[in-house]
Structure 1
Amino acid sequence: MSAPSYFGHASVDHAVAGMGAATVSTLTLQPLDLVKTRLQVDDTSTSRGSKMAGRSLRTCLSITQQDGLRGFYRGMSPNLAGNVASWGLYFFWYNSIKQYKARETGQTVLSPTQHLVAAAEAGALTQLCTNPLWVVKTRMFTTSSHSRQAYRGLWHGLTSIYRHEGIRGLYKGLVPGLIGVSHGALQFMAYEEMKKWQLFNRSPGNDKSLGPMEYMVMAAGSKIFAAVTTYPYQVLRTRLQSQATTVVYHGVWDAIRKIYHNESLLGFYKGLGPNIVRVLPGTCITFVVYESLSQYFRDHAA
């Protein structure tokens, strides 16, 4: 017998909660996301004297000079669509896979390895569905609205890429994107284990539901762990998807070779500072809103 749910199925409840969380997070943190992406496609050599804060400031000034303050919200439509679709699909498949594994094994609590595998499978399915949205987002983020290559919006970007580059164009960066599934898998494994540990160590008789601050701390900790571990794949994916780089990359291994040769290992971590600044509040917002909505759906399930 299936558990009570608000929308008729528990996985759908989680999907809707994920979509709501993604909407709030994306609308709040769009400017930081755009600056991070601009820094990732900066393939100029990294000098020892250059500072991340200085490069970030120059990027902000460049965006303002080109498009004004509105420039920080360029690419909002594909960014919002991509995040809402990704989080909705991810939470749907992640919870569906967890439920399947629990039924097959008869376990009520899954192991870290099972959480890791479930998150990786959900991430791969989500990436296959949403890669075209990320290609459009990356190109809109890395070009001025006055550029000849500029897309007017999500649909114009999708149709333009398909018309000029075919299906392959819509799936540029898919390989590093699939490699990046490890990011979500590591994050969710860490998050689930931290949540399980926190619930286990609560005093007897205490309310089993965690508070917003606890969710924030666990979300931030798991995100930092995953971000530092897997950040290079994000740079690779952005370079392969973008049209704003000065170097032409012919596939993943060619990109790895050229980035290392031209920029050293530091090239694989460009934009990490703004990314950490962006993902921490973004992750905290996403998980607090997600857990709050999930709790509301559980409390009002039919």
Structure 2
Amino acid sequence: MTPSTKLPEKTGRRKINTDDPRFRIKPYQQIASACTGGIITSLIMTPLDVVKTRIQTQQKLLLSNKCFLYCNGLMDHLCPCGPNSAPLKNHLHLNGTIDAFIKISRSEGVKALWSGLGPTLVSALPSTVIYFVAYEQIRRHTKDFHNKHLGGTDMPLYVPLFAGVSSRIFAVTMVSPLELIRTKMQSQKMTYKEMTNAVRTMIQADGALVLFKGLPPTIYRDVPFSGIYWSCYEALKWYYQVTDPTFGFSFTAGAVAGSVAATITTPFDLIKTYQQIEFGEQVIYTDKPRPNIPIKTTSERLKEVYRLHGFRGLFAGLLPRLAKVAPACAVMISSFEYGKSFFYKLNVQRYNENHM
């Protein structure tokens, strides 16, 4: 048995089985754990991303009808960039991260560091819940199928890999049209009737698939990231023989797994950023959609970046990405695992009370 083949279920300091049918965590408990993790991650990561976004956008004051992309660890968000865009109305000259924290807090109040938190929670929580609950359900059913038909009680490494890939595909496909509609409504302050007409126009011009136009680059980046992340995380639990991870272990393992996955998928993240910004400028942040505008494929963009900037160009922005992804993954998975542990112990307590 090696780390690359088997992940034992009942080894280590805490010899429990969270998949025991008697104490198994219910879907609504998984939802509660995912919601808690999502909220905590948003609260911690949003100020960091607000500062990063302000610093980046101060270099684009002369650009109009453009947009930029930011992510607070849970979701990507397109914003218009120009003199009238929200981050630039009360422009401050910022000289680094610490200076930005101080100036924004003094001039706009501490609450400004959490600007955009509401839309983030409304948009990111459903996606986060779908993703984590889907992962838990797919992982459990895949593991049960493996144990039933192939025997044994261990969990092969392909189980978290398959569950991570499948859950991410399901989550991003579910929310992709909603994200497009939400972003367009926010960018142009549309009513629901105006949004309906705009969506109808877009569908008539480009077909129903226009609602999923940003889906392929998202899948190219997020699906490999998810598969690598969960495989690394479960492998770390196997290596250190942990079945009921503490908050500290989950935090560290989540940061490590997130860093590995982020590093490997950075070229796809780079291309996804290009394509989302281009799509935002062509469709979202315009009064009328402009159909039949050719958009380069992911492979074409990768070849172009490699030709112009070499291998290093494919990993541009790696350090800032790690600085964002690693803590976000650490906070999210440790909060989620802590919630699962809480509900597991609660289920054990209830079971014992009912069978005394």
TM-score (norm 2): 0.61
**CA offsets, 1:80-105, max 9 Å, x none?**
33431222112211111122122222
Change (3 A) 1:185 1:159: farther
Q: Aligned runs of 1:1-302 on 2, under 5 Å?
A: 2-4=21-23, 10-33=26-49, 35=52, 65-67=88-90, 69=104, 75-106=116-147, 107-135=152-180, 150-152=187-189, 162-166=199-203, 167-180=208-221, 181-199=223-241, 209-242=244-277, 243-244=280-281, 249-261=295-307, 263-301=309-347, 302=350
Q: Tell whether the 8 Å contact from 2:225 to 2:262 is kept in structure 1 after alignment.
A: yes
Q: Give aligned-pair identity as a percent.
A: 18
Aligned to 1:56: none
For residues 30 and 154 of structure 1, the distance between their equivalents in structure 2, rounded to whole angstroms, comes to: 27
Bigger RCO of structures 1 and 2 (CA < 8 A, at least 6 apart):
1
**CA offsets, 1:37-80, max 9 Å, x none?**
997xx9xxxxxxxxxxxxxxxx9xx9854455578656545533
Q: Tell whether the 8 Å contact from 1:131 to 1:174 is kept in structure 2 after alignment.
A: yes
Q: Tell whether the 8 Å contact from 2:164 to 2:227 is kept in structure 1 after alignment.
A: yes
Change (3 A) 1:33 1:212: same
For residues 38 and 157 of structure 1, the distance between their equivalents in structure 2, rounded to whole angstroms, comes to: 34
Greater mean alpha carbon deviation, residues 169-178 or residues 220-229: 169-178
Residue 189 of structure 1 and its aligned partner are, at CA, apart by 0.7
Residue 114 of structure 1 and its aligned partner are, at CA, apart by 1.9
Residue 237 of structure 1 and its aligned partner are, at CA, apart by 2.1
Q: Tell whether the 8 Å contact from 2:43 to 2:114 is kept in structure 1 after alignment.
A: no
For residues 258 and 156 of structure 1, the distance between their equivalents in structure 2, rounded to whole angstroms, comes to: 41
> Between Structure 1 and Structure 2, how many residues are aligned?
265
Counterpart of 2:126 in structure 1: which amino acid?
A
Greater mean alpha carbon deviation, residues 174-183 or residues 97-106: 97-106
For residues 279 and 160 of structure 1, the distance between their equivalents in structure 2, rounded to whole angstroms, comes to: 37
Q: Tell whether the 8 Å contact from 2:258 to 2:325 is kept in structure 1 after alignment.
A: yes
For residues 231 and 313 of structure 2, the distance between their equivalents in structure 1, rounded to whole angstroms, comes to: 28
Change (3 A) 1:254 1:238: same
Query: Which runs of 5 or more residues in structure 1 are unaligned?
Result: 43-58, 201-207
Change (3 A) 1:298 1:152: farther
For residues 210 and 17 of structure 1, the distance between their equivalents in structure 2, rounded to whole angstroms, comes to: 15
Query: Which runs of 5 or more residues in structure 2 are unaligned?
Result: 1-19, 60-80, 92-103, 283-292, 351-356
Counterpart of 1:108 in structure 2: which amino acid?
T
For residues 192 and 210 of structure 1, the distance between their equivalents in structure 2, rounded to whole angstroms, comes to: 11
Q: Tell whether the 8 Å contact from 1:78 to 1:136 is kept in structure 2 after alignment.
A: no
Residue 128 of structure 1 and its aligned partner are, at CA, apart by 0.7
Greater mean alpha carbon deviation, residues 175-184 or residues 126-135: 126-135
Q: Tell whether the 8 Å contact from 1:78 to 1:137 is kept in structure 2 after alignment.
A: no
For residues 139 and 67 of structure 1, the distance between their equivalents in structure 2, rounded to whole angstroms, comes to: 23
**CA offsets, 1:140-183, max 9 Å, x none?**
9xxxx9xxxx3449979975862553343432221122222010
Change (3 A) 1:37 1:64: closer
Higher normalized strand content (fraction of residues): 2
For residues 54 and 198 of structure 2, the distance between their equivalents in structure 1, rounded to whole angstroms, comes to: 19
RMSD of aligned residue pairs (Cα, Å): 3.9
Higher normalized helix content (fraction of residues): 1
Q: Tell whether the 8 Å contact from 2:157 to 2:235 is kept in structure 1 after alignment.
A: yes
For residues 271 and 76 of structure 1, the distance between their equivalents in structure 2, rounded to whole angstroms, comes to: 24
Change (3 A) 1:110 1:155: farther
For residues 182 and 193 of structure 1, the distance between their equivalents in structure 2, rounded to whole angstroms, comes to: 16
For residues 16 and 139 of structure 1, the distance between their equivalents in structure 2, rounded to whole angstroms, comes to: 30
Change (3 A) 1:210 1:186: same
For residues 196 and 44 of structure 2, the distance between their equivalents in structure 1, rounded to whole angstroms, comes to: 28
Greater mean alpha carbon deviation, residues 220-229 or residues 89-98: 89-98
Change (3 A) 1:108 1:254: same
